[in-house]
Every structure is written in C-alpha cells, then in structure tokens.
Amino acid sequence: MRLNDEEQAMLAGEMGEPKRWAIDHQIKVGRMFDAEDLVPVSQSHMMADPESVGDAGVSFLEKLADQGARVAIPMITDPRGVDLNYYRPLGQTEEMADLDRRTIEACSKMGILMTNTCTNYQTIMSPVLGDHVAFGDTGVVIYSNSVCGARSNYEGGPSALAAGLTGRTPRYGLHLDEMRRATRRFVVRQQPKGLTDWGVLGALVGKLAGSYWEVPVIEGLEVVPTSDDLKHMGAAMASFGSIPLFHLVGITPESPTLAAVGGEKLKAEEITAADLNALRSGFGGRGDKVDVVVFAAPQLSLVEMQQVADLCAGQTLKTPMLVCTSPQVYADAVRMKLVETIEASGGKVLEGTCFYNQYAREIGVANGWKRLLSNSTKIVNILGGYGYQPALASMEDCVASAIAGEIV
C-alpha cells in the first residue's frame, strides 16, 4: 500500500505506540482487500459493548489508554451492554457492569465520545453525500451509505478504533465508485405502510441479495419513506443479507434515476404481497403467549418514543415491555414526559443500550423470557439464536399485546 510521509512516521512508531499499532492493523486489513492506499475519514463509530469485547478486549483498550492513545477525529460509540442505572432488575451481574465501567473509562481517556447509539445519523452528526467515514454497526453503515450517501465499509471494533486513532481507513469496497453500482434490481408490487412493513421489505431484499458485495436497487415505490422507515428497512436488510448499501430510485441521493446506478441493464425481480407475507408468517401468530415485548434494534427516535407513549397512555401492561433509546433521545423524552407515560403503564425505558447486545441470552434466562414480541424485523431475526421464540407485529399490536398478555 502507498503511504504518505505522515503515515510512514506512524508506522515507524514516531507518533507513539497506539498509532503504530493502529496503522499496522489498517495496512494488514487493506492488503487483504487489495486497497492501494488509505483514505481520510471524518468520523469513526465503534462497537465496544462488553458482551462483544469481553475482558480481553477491555484490557486492550485500557492498555492503549495507558500508552497515551488519543483519537485524531470525532469518534463515537454504539449502544452499551448495560444501562448502569438499571441492570440489577434485568438480572445482569456486577461483573457485567464492571466490564462496562472499565470500557467507558478507557474510551473516555482516549477522547472517544460515549454517545452509545446506533442511530447517530439521527442524533449526533449525520454524514453527507461523498463523506468518507469509518462506521461499525451494520444499521449505521447501511443507513449512512444509502440514505446519506456517505462511504463506509463495515468496520470491526479494532478497525474502527484504528480509524479513530489515525483518521484514515483502507480505501476498498464502498469507498470506491465502482463498488457502489447496483448489482440486483427489485421491483416492489405492494407498498409498505409502517415501520414493520418497511422492515419486512428490507429483510426480503436482504435475503434475496444475500451478500456483502451485492448492491440492491429498488424501484416501484409510490410513497416516500420517513427516516424511521428507512432505519428499519436498512437494519433488516443488513441483518438478513449483510447488505451495506441499497438504492431507492428517485429517493436516495445516488439514484435519482435507475440508470444513474446502472440498474437499467439488470434483470428486474418482482417483490409481491405473497413474498412479503411469506417472510412475515415465520415469526409467531395471533393468540400466542408473550413473555416480553421489546422495542429496540435500532434504538427509538423521539418520534417513535411519542408513538409508544401515546399507545401506553392510561393503560396497564400485563407483559413486561422494554423500550431502548439513545441517551440523546432519552433526555428529550424525559423532558417531554414520554418516559414517564411509558413507565406509568408498566413499561421500562432503557438508556444507551439495545436489547440484543445487552446479554440477551442471560437476561432471558434470568427472567424466564422465551416468547418475545417486537416490531423490529432485525431483532426477531437475531434473537432466535439467543434462545428466544421471536414474533413480529406492528408497534400498535405490540403494545396491545403487552396489555392483553398475548399476541392480538
């Protein structure tokens, strides 16, 4: 790989051991993907929840911090594994909490902003068209690439950290123009009507495309989605298909027309109501008992918090209900009494966490939760692997089911 003078100095250790480690790591990653050089990035976003990194990962962060590591660009974090204000009632242990406290201390020492969100594109600093970034969470990456027009690969935790320390990332994959052209063309024949419908559409496209290197272009949409619609769609597409970029003709910034992304040369594949219903029917049914209702993955926006609060107002929930949001939205939701309304009904709002990466298996065992209901297509895809029997429903039906104690 070609390195400039500053990068050569980093590699020689002239700028400290943390930067030497970081650029050495990036060169190894870059060589694996045939990157010719490094590209400057404006932001980095790291997954570093304690369930993912474990004691060894936290010790590594502490070692870098003790060596004087300091990030070179704004660097932010994905949701934590523990809400330190509410973990004992969930059955999380002091060991889990201590691991999280050590991570926070080490990251803060390096200048990393503990934003603890997977919706930074809605809350912190949305990237813009052509902006090169180094983001980690799959939902963050697909939204930033597709909706914002920014450029990022899926960065693993160490790679995102390295990018934060050097201000660069290897130039391969979606940092290159040619890798952003459409490779699969889908035509929608049924219009989505809510967050879960958008999630199911994203899940089906992801399942059909099924590869990190495929770029779906979707046409036939007669409605313009909201930011929350696209958040659910992208998160599901990434979860079901490892997809990091999609185009919506006439909607997303790089595809004003089908031809703009090379889609007119591709075979059109129809997505019908039957296709969407077939995917939806695999996740639970009416009358099934529910142990816990979860709103998470991605974290809720302020608009979603208001919608949940409106549905809960004056109601009493029979089934435990967890609502996960970012610290940024949480503060506003407290000020607007949305948290108070949700919790008065018996629900619980968690700050800075997301259900699936907060020891979902352990808290399921601790609370006897197995049958889980959510409006997030992403989370019902993931949680089968954590021992749950997940079911999918709209936000309205999720709250109604929590009130009834069974799927309505």
Structure confidence at residue 148 as a pLDDT band (50, 70, 90): very high
Q: What are the domain boundaries of the chain?
A: 5-176, 181-279, 288-407
Give the pLDDT confidence of 32-52 residue by residue, as tens digits.
Answer: 999 999 999 999 999 989 888
Buried b (16+ CB within 10 A) or exposed e, 223-247: eebeebbbbbbbbbbbbbbbbbbbb
Mean pLDDT of 5-29: 98
287: Cβ contacts below 8 Å, ≥ 6 apart:
406, 407
Query: Does the pLDDT of residue 285 top 80, yes or no?
Result: no
CA 143 to chain CA centroid, nearest Å: 9
Give the pLDDT confidence of 213-237 residue by residue, as tens digits.
Answer: 999 999 999 999 999 999 999 999 9
- Which H or E run includes 207? helix 195-209
| Domain 5-176 and domain 288-407 have a common topology | yes
CATH of 5-176, one of 1.10.10.10, 3.20.20.150, 1.10.630.10, 3.30.499.10: 3.30.499.10
What's residue 282's pLDDT?
76
User: Locate tokens 């298909």: which residue?
Assistant: 241
Query: Does the pLDDT of residue 337 top 80, yes or no?
Result: yes
Q: What's this model's pTM, rounded to 2 decimal places? A: 0.97
* The CATH fold of domain 288-407: Aconitase; domain 3 (3.30.499)
What's residue 288's pLDDT?
83
Strand partners, 76: 45, 113
For the chain, the average pLDDT equals 97
213: Cβ contacts below 8 Å, ≥ 6 apart:
179, 183
What's residue 261's pLDDT?
98
